Structure 1
């Protein structure tokens, strides 16, 4: 969870940025995971992101929320749009919302009825909470022996940390990523997006697919254990492996200490750019294009190892020449010459990227007359990007329909549950 970034808001009379996104009509949703049905007991970000990925791929997701309260992220506002928290809307399309108090025995029985009809259960509750409520793997397996039970937590389902609370910030700190993020001599920095939540959620979806494939082959269910700290630490594999195998402890450097020379941000006459000279051929193309061909005659710079050894001198020369022209000059030149380089986009520039919009990654959906922005799956199958069927749902919007259509409850039974405050 990351809600500390500062915001620059448009003037009240200005149209919202989402008004400029292509409006996508319902339909065209991927069906690769149909008819997989997922019972989503998660809240906040990592778990809902996992089920959003599964939903985008075609799974039917039934989102269980607390009556009158709902998912925690419904209350993470501002920012909001038409009274709804945008963080919630970011990861909850293509889901049906059912309100259910399963902390009470009768509500738990309803939950188990739902589990019988589902292929997957995903939870981000601590192990002790799962056991207390009677919604752990053993309870779910008792009603659905081949269930795939995905438990997403901070530290895993066993060990001395298993029941410790954990958020994205905590996981990033454990993983080492914060220690290596920021300028040399500066404070450790959190990644600018909830990286551990998103990586952990992505791992949960990936592991769920693997478990479903194995179940199709063997008929066996699985308990899948995903920890935010594990996922974030695996993200650090290149850095961690370098330390383990060399003993050299990297420190914060403002991303100026890559194993590649040169691979960093450079200032130009106006806006900064990124520049990645990752092999000898790219190095030669860059030097020729930028007017630094003289460096090619220096035998000490003929390969990456040499350029790493003389990094300070190389960086000084590159910085000097790049400062003579503006960003667009260099990006156009490097694009023609096949030199990897790019802008450092602000989010407003990302949102306006015509290619991202064309590929279906950025779009808006109509939810009761409001254009709600979406960041899509970003994966295409046979040329098709993931569509949607259901906008981010209102709290409990589908409770009655799910209980009657899926479980066969009578209208009277549903009314009784509502009178008791269970739904």
Structure 2
């Protein structure tokens, strides 16, 4: 069994919904001990995002909160804030996705926390960043997809601006945050000092514009929606076969010649006007209808077989069901099962990390609200049972009855 890279790293997670929880789930998959701080009454907002629910747990929450321990603490009480400050003294990382200034108002400013623990790495995830004219605006995935330009380049050219079908702004922000946190941990090995990481959802999404921004910077013209076509490659888009859709990516001149052989159109291969990629893009309005007519003559499997044999990039259009059951993913152990106390068996798609030594670690299911409060306060802060009970009775925390048989990983 391999030693997971972040074993021994204690992360205090004050985030909720998607961006922050996705970040800390990635860190947890790599071995970090994630203490998920939740509001005692309802917990993470996403616990209520449904239907569907399983055993009282929302599928939404279950999808981004594995490998965490839930500690329910009321941050509106001075006693709750003091508990967080004490936990932060033990932690390697603290991360939140409150609006700018909230941590300061709570008495948990990054300056205060690092004064108590100079090695602490703090990370704030916000919609628009901690600075700038939009810093105080609330940021949600749909809002950021629009503000980042992503919706303006997504969808049918004659249709509405369209968001990506998943919470891409939240998810890519979580990925960037986890990467920045790991970089800060690596740098701390040299300096012994922690840093603050400022992650903006808008910054993260804008960074994905890449060549679209490059087109604007080069020409001064803003790229528009092209549906499933590519602005600088053709044919590279979705085509309708006789019985459904598939994607075909003729990404260079070599693939163009192979593709012409697949569709049995040697005349297109020998046509000098289409020989170069730049010309196929320039003449896409006349070329794509020709290709579309050829693809429409045969069913999908006909083209998939021929494209595969020729080595031309292609792809089926799969449903979420088909992806979750795909042999390519299941044989790589991308789908995991976790026993949950109320939801039965919880299935998740695993993080795509693959190391040269097989990871035999058993992942823990998303926690119940307050499931680990007792254990965390007792183990990390050394609080007596009577004190924990008193805090629970006063509403400062929420605990569940400790389960002696449960083996808890403290990192």
Place the TM-score, normalised by the shorter chain, in its bin. over 0.9
2:59 is aligned, of 86, 91, 98, to: 86
Q: 1:116 Cα shift?
A: 0.8
2:46 is aligned, of 50, 66, 73, to: 73
Q: Which residue of 1 aligns with 2:163?
A: 190
Q: Which residue of 2 aligns with 1:13?
A: none
| Closer, same or farther: CA 387–287 of 1 in aligned 2, 3 Å | farther
Q: Which residue of 1 aligns with 2:305?
A: 332
Gaps of 5+ in 2: 398-411
Q: Deviations over 1:185-244 (max 9, x none)?
A: 111111100010001111100000011111111111101000000101101121111111
1:371 is aligned, of 340, 345, 351, to: 345
Q: Which runs of 4+ in 1 moved over 3 A?
A: 383-389
Distance in 1 (CA, whole Å) between partners of 2:204 and 2:360 is 25
1:152 pairs with 2:154: no
- Map 1:196-207; keep pairs closer than 5 Å: 196-207=169-180
1:302 pairs with 2:275: yes
Q: 1:252 Cα shift?
A: 1.5
- Map 1:6-405; keep pairs closer than 5 Å: 31-368=4-341, 370-382=344-356, 384=358, 387-405=361-379
What secondary structure sits across from 1:318 in the alignment? Answer: helix
| Closer, same or farther: CA 29–44 of 1 in aligned 2, 3 Å | farther
The TM-score, its normalising length taken from structure 1, stands at 0.91
Q: 1:301 Cα shift?
A: 1.2
Moved more, 277-286 or 355-364: 355-364
Distance in 2 (CA, whole Å) between partners of 1:87 and 1:376 is 15
Q: Which residue of 2 aligns with 1:14?
A: none
Q: Residue 129 of structure 2 contacts residue 135 of structure 2 at CA under 8 Å; is this kept in 1?
A: yes
| Closer, same or farther: CA 30–283 of 1 in aligned 2, 3 Å | farther
Distance in 1 (CA, whole Å) between partners of 2:305 and 2:381 is 60
Q: Which residue of 1 aligns with 2:402?
A: none
Distance in 1 (CA, whole Å) between partners of 2:43 and 2:225 is 40
Q: Deviations over 1:310-348 (max 9, x none)?
A: 112221221111111111111111111100001111111
Distance in 2 (CA, whole Å) between partners of 1:47 and 1:320 is 47
Q: 1:386 Cα shift?
A: 7.7
Q: 1:245 Cα shift?
A: 1.0
Q: Deviations over 1:150-189 (max 9, x none)?
A: 1000011122221211101111111101011111111111
Q: 1:388 Cα shift?
A: 3.7
Q: Residue 263 of structure 1 contacts residue 278 of structure 1 at CA under 8 Å; is this kept in 2?
A: yes
Gaps of 5+ in 1: 1-27
Q: Residue 121 of structure 1 contacts residue 148 of structure 1 at CA under 8 Å; is this kept in 2?
A: yes
Distance in 2 (CA, whole Å) between partners of 1:321 and 1:83 is 51
| Closer, same or farther: CA 29–98 of 1 in aligned 2, 3 Å | farther
Aligned alpha-carbon RMSD (Å): 1.4
Q: Residue 362 of structure 1 contacts residue 373 of structure 1 at CA under 8 Å; is this kept in 2?
A: yes
What secondary structure sits across from 1:267 in the alignment? Answer: strand
Q: Deviations over 1:329-377 (max 9, x none)?
A: 1111111110000111111111220111111212322213712110110
Q: Residue 42 of structure 1 contacts residue 124 of structure 1 at CA under 8 Å; is this kept in 2?
A: yes
Q: Residue 265 of structure 1 contacts residue 273 of structure 1 at CA under 8 Å; is this kept in 2?
A: yes
Q: Residue 52 of structure 1 contacts residue 91 of structure 1 at CA under 8 Å; is this kept in 2?
A: yes
| Closer, same or farther: CA 416–59 of 1 in aligned 2, 3 Å | same
Q: 1:385 Cα shift?
A: 5.7
* Matched residues, number: 396
What secondary structure sits across from 2:153 in the alignment? Answer: coil
Q: 1:102 Cα shift?
A: 2.2
Distance in 2 (CA, whole Å) between partners of 1:391 and 1:249 is 45
Q: Which residue of 1 aligns with 2:400?
A: none
Q: 1:389 Cα shift?
A: 3.3
Q: 1:136 Cα shift?
A: 2.0
Q: Residue 264 of structure 1 contacts residue 276 of structure 1 at CA under 8 Å; is this kept in 2?
A: yes
